[in-house]
Amino acid sequence: MIEVKNLFKRFRQAKKSDPSRRRDAREGDGYFQAVRDVSFHCAPGEVLGLLGPNGAGKTTTLRLLATALKPDQGTAFVNGVDIVAEPMQARRQIGFLSGTTGLYGRLTGRENVEYFGRLHGMDEARLQRRCDELFEQLQLHDFAHKRTDEMSTGMKQKCSIARAVVHDPKVIILDEPTSGLDVMAAKVLLDFMADCKRRQIPLIFSTHHLHEVDKLCDRVCVINGGTTVFNDTTGAFRQRGGGDIFDAFIGVINERSAA
Ligand SMILES: Nc1ncnc2c1ncn2[C@@H]1O[C@H](COP(=O)(O)OP(=O)(O)OP(=O)(O)O)[C@@H](O)[C@H]1O
């Protein structure tokens, strides 16, 4: 179970901006309030889609949840572990794919994944079994021994996912996993996510591709201007758009912007 409760995060800005030129209500004196009151939850067997326009605060929220950043206020619980009080314990439960691939270019795909498995303290037999399983599932076998700096975007992304989940985490958080991928590579990743759902692993992913949400998600959270503006089931979201998920998204964003 993942429970995110009233997260807030501001970033310091090097220069104070001129108040008359501020374009974003989140900008203050020497800071930018990237996340301001974000809440949602995702149970075992559920997939939650995190949506929002560019700059809404999705990546910041996911980095807070994955303990890469510390919130200013609020917290989250990962399988009952408080990410603020016990970040190390929380981190062990989480598989996190960030926007940057984080692969070592001179290592092969398999070497990268094995390296991160060893960092997680996995014993060799379990690590090899897990790598075999992931390389099969992500259709990476043919490329396992290729250096990652010679791989295509899709192959790199699959390796990054394998790297993120090698330790068999209890929850999975993916930041724009299908961004920039061709249809075939995206399908492999969507199938992987569907399998996590079948295995009762709570999974959260951010995306701009609404058809992925339509196909895969049980719950939807929309962030706009750093704040949660929708948090409910995918069915309830569709209804907001009279059955159309695109209209639902635009309606939720426009409603908030008008307010
Ligand atoms: N380290 C930082 N310092 C200052 N501002 C930041 C920092 N990180 C993010 N921001 C700002 O916070 C806001 C939210 O950024 P974030 O990357 O979380 O948005 P996003 O919803 O993931 O956007 P996108 O869909 O474009 O990836 C943006 O305006 C961004 O410029």
Tokens of 164: 């993120």
- Taking CA atoms only, the protein residue closest to ligand 1 atom 4 is 11
Instruction: Give the dihedral of Cα atoms 187, 189, 193, 199; nearest 10 deg.
Output: 100
Domains of the chain: 2-102+170-258 (3.40.50.300)
Band (pLDDT 50/70/90 cuts) for residue 22 is low
Q: Is 220 in the pocket of ligand 1 (CB under 6 A)?
A: no
pLDDT tops 70 at residue 34: yes
Q: Does residue 31's CB lie within 6 angstroms of at least one atom of ligand 1? A: no
56 C-beta closer than 6 A to ligand 1: yes
Task: Please give the distance, rounded to the nearest whole angstrom, from the Cα atom of residue 200 to the centre of ligand 1.
Answer: 31
ipTM: 0.96
Which protein residue's CA is at the shortest distance from atom 8 of ligand 1?
A: 60
Lowest mean pLDDT among 11-25, 51-65, 110-124, 182-196: 11-25
pTM of this structure: 0.93
Which pLDDT score is estimated for 79? 93
**Tell me, what's the pLDDT at 248?**
96
**Quick one: which atom of ligand 1 is closest to the CA of 226?**
14
Q: What is the pLDDT of residues 115-136, one digit of tens each?
A: 999 999 999 999 999 999 999 9
The answer to whether 46 and 196 have CB atoms below 8 angstroms apart is no
Among 49-63, 90-104, 160-174, 239-253, whose mean pLDDT is lowest?
90-104
pLDDT over threshold 90, residue 252: yes
CA dist 45 and 35 (Å) reads: 27
pLDDT of residue 201: 96
> Is the confidence at residue 30, as pLDDT, over 90?
no
Looking at the CA of residue 13, tell me the nearest atom of ligand 1.
4
State pLDDT tens for residues 82-116.
999 999 999 999 999 997 768 999 999 999 999 99
Read off the pLDDT of residues 47-59 as tens digits, 9 standing for 90 and up: 999 999 999 999 9
Q: What is the pLDDT of residue 78?
A: 96
What pLDDT is recorded for position 26? Answer: 85
